[in-house]
Structure 1
Amino acid sequence: MRVFPRRTRRPGAGGHHQVLFVLAECVPFVIALAVLAIEFTPAHFLYTGPLLIATPALAAVTMGPRGTLAAVILAVAVSVATATYNEAWGSDQVYTNFLALTLVSLASVATSSAARTRREIELDQVRRIAVAAQEAVLRPVPARLGPVRVAGMYLAAETGAQIGGDLYEAVQTRYGVRAIVGDVRGKGLPAVRAAAAVLGAFREAVHYEDDLVDVVNRCEAALRRDAAVPGVIDPEALVEGFVTVLVAQVPDAPVVEVVNRGHPPPLRWSDGRVDALMPASPLPPLGLEEFITGPRGRTESYSFLPGDRLLLHTDGVIEARDSGRAFFALPEAMTQLEPRPERGPRDFLDRLHQDLLRHTDARLVDDAAMILFDRVDGADAAGAGPGGQTVRPQ
């Protein structure tokens, strides 16, 4: 269930460039086929040698070593076929064409291999930077915080991605365990900057603000300050940008306190049943406070007993679709998972993740984040250590 509309993708966003790239990859093979058509028809009086010689060079620009090699093989095959068909063997022109084709082919394959190696080195550097950025923005959550055991997981929709616009954090404070989960509208670096601004404000405010509403207000103010920096976010993003967030607090008392700003409600697992903790008065996300006509939020309290589980998540989980366009039924998936209290929240999240991959055939179209709390009865939980994890598509 979703309280406020999710971001919409612009029609054809990225598709135009992808189509152009595919067309560019086809050019060398189209040229080779065009040479065949010319040589095996009355139009064979046209001189096609330079076209075949250019085929490997064009392939090296748009394809890797394998694609370039395939273009080389095709060009040689076409050259042999046309020379045989036209009974041109023995002429200096044929041998000159073959020599030129051989030299260009060797140079093209070598250039393509070198370019691929260079790209792999650059990609490796980008991945190392992404890992460092992930550790700075999305830190692994501890496996135990006060009265709860914790596990977090970030599911990256794009292969090789580490972070995006989804965010989560859990912190032990004097008020209890405080956590946030959120989703920034948009993609790319502006979304990462907005997520970092909200998380930075949350990490500071949770230690000083008594009221969760004030914590959320501090996050909203930080988002506004970040968006107001000249040159950081373009004017269109200033108009359209917002962040859905949910802030929760788990004190020593058997309750959980929640402030929800346009985010999917958390799911509470208790005695085999899963309930959505719906807000009594839905409020818009951060960045859309002009639509608030009354109080800027209030803290709502729900029971959270020992043995209960609480899942905070982003809508990338509940909006994941299968091949039939059916949404992932998160409450039902939680209900059907066999309880394994002794293994803790990490095992539960891992099994939930596998269910999600099976539902989507391992094709996530949106980033997703989950953070799970197990309420314990005060006894120390085993297996302290990092509970956070970033998962790439499989």
Structure 2
Amino acid sequence: MPFAIALLVVGIELSPMHFIYTGPLLTATPALAAVTMGPTGTLAAAAFALAISVTTATYNQAWGTQQVYTNFLAVLVVSVASFTLSRAVQTRRQSELDQIRRIAMAAQDVLLRPVPARLGPVRTASMYLAAEAGAQIGGDLYEAVQTRYGVRMIVGDVRGKGLPAVRSAAAVLGAFREAAHYEDDLAEVMNHCTAALRRESAVVEGVDQAEEGDQVEDFVTALVAQVPDRHVVQVVNRGHPPPLVLRHGEVQELLPASPLPPLGLEGLSSGVLPKTESYPFAPGDRLLLHTDGVIEARNPDHEFFALPEAMKALHTFSPPKFLEQLHQGLVRHTQGRLADDAAMILVERLGEEANETRRRS
């Protein structure tokens, strides 16, 4: 708009209609730019307006008249004021953005804290990739804790994005962190997560119904896993992508025997209760828990990311380097444009020698 007005002034001043007084229009150009275009745009619009003022005065041979100097001075004063105001607004907005980012980082440290490098009989690593530019947290969740029952982990994906997804993720994670330490049955840990999501959804539904009259239906795909002292991994899967085990350079999916719906969609389960399933997990094996943002990442040709093949190529790397290489592979595959958040936890089962050393220390 500012440049369109400036061009309109040029058209009038270089035409037989140049007797029309265009000073107010030209003066408004930097002021409008300050509202919509920031300091750089304001500076460009001001320079353009001043150049037009000089050009039209020269073309119309109007130098020496009071009107020309008045217009030129008005444009100059408004330009300086507009640029100063635009810089002040930009500085304030940047300060507010920095504060929001600091709050987001603090929230991430509480909600999605990195897992320790060593938990009991396993080495671990975690990674969270937000699809939204500038985002720190989203609808994916993960956690790993050491308990008297073994190392327990959760990974999940909340339907939707934004603050409602973050609230649901926080509810599920809070329930897991509490129940993981006192429920001996892994399925009961999952049931606590289900109850927490139901309570959170009831609160959100009540607020939304009061405001809009609509019903809210949230659900979370979730998977909890446990690595006890014996050489197995126990899993309860509620509609989540199955974890992958990397063993001797080969990858195996841990598919559930009885698939169950996600948390929040218990009405689709036909009365089937969650149960814990066990799979071999020997020293040297690696377990990857992940969200669908990893396996559903597509390249420009709409081809999915080949996660098993990528894992096979990285079997010699340490857990943190393993996930970092997976991250780089995802970035290359999608050309830096993730369509969904992605969370990963990698767990490596240690041998008895390493466990014995840990117990002695």
Q: What is the TM-score of this pair, normalised by structure 1?
A: 0.84
Correspondence for 1:89 = 63
Residues of 2 paired with 1:225 and 1:315: CA distance? 25
Q: Where do residues 234-249 of structure 1 align in structure 2 (5 Å cutoff)?
A: 234-235=208-209, 239-249=216-226
* Correspondence for 1:175 among 129, 142, 149: 149
CA 1:43–1:297: 2 relative to 1, 3 Å = farther
Larger radius of gyration: 2
Query: Which amino acid is the alignment partner of residue 106 of structure 2?
Result: A
Correspondence for 1:325 = 302
CA 1:146–1:196: 2 relative to 1, 3 Å = same
**How far does residue 215 in structure 1 lie from its aligned partner after superposition?**
1.0
* Correspondence for 1:356 among 318, 330, 336: 330
CA 1:175–1:72: 2 relative to 1, 3 Å = same
Correspondence for 1:10 = none
**How far does residue 241 in structure 1 lie from its aligned partner after superposition?**
1.6
* Correspondence for 1:163 among 137, 160, 163: 137
* Correspondence for 2:341 among 364, 367, 371: 367
- 1:346 equivalent to 2:324? Answer no
Which moves more between the two structures, 237-246 or 111-120?
Answer: 237-246
Which secondary structure does the structure 2 equivalent of 1:306 belong to? coil
**How far does residue 263 in structure 1 lie from its aligned partner after superposition?**
1.1
- 1:210 equivalent to 2:184? Answer yes
Correspondence for 1:143 = 117
* Correspondence for 1:121 among 95, 110, 115: 95
Which secondary structure does the structure 2 equivalent of 1:234 belong to? helix
**How far does residue 367 in structure 1 lie from its aligned partner after superposition?**
1.7
Query: Which amino acid is the alignment partner of residue 96 of structure 1?
Result: T
- 1:53 equivalent to 2:27? Answer yes
- 1:279 equivalent to 2:253? Answer no
Whether the aligned pair in 1 keeps the contact of 2:152 and 2:180 (CA below 8 Å) is: yes
Cα shift readout 1:131-174 (whole Å, capped 9, x = no counterpart)? 22112111221111111100011112233321111110001111
CA 1:337–1:230: 2 relative to 1, 3 Å = closer
**How far does residue 346 in structure 1 lie from its aligned partner after superposition?**
0.6
- Counting matched residue pairs gives 353
Cα shift readout 1:250-298 (whole Å, capped 9, x = no counterpart)? 1112111111111111111111112222222222111111111031222
Which moves more between the two structures, 214-223 or 291-300?
Answer: 291-300
Correspondence for 2:283 = 306
**Greater relative contact order (Cα 8 A, min sep 6): structure 1 or 2?**
1
**How far does residue 80 in structure 1 lie from its aligned partner after superposition?**
2.5
Q: What is the TM-score of this pair, normalised by structure 2?
A: 0.91
Residues of 2 paired with 1:30 and 1:374: CA distance? 63
CA 1:320–1:36: 2 relative to 1, 3 Å = farther
Listed as ranges, the gaps of 5+ residues in structure 2 are: none
- 1:63 equivalent to 2:54? Answer no
Residues of 2 paired with 1:177 and 1:373: CA distance? 10
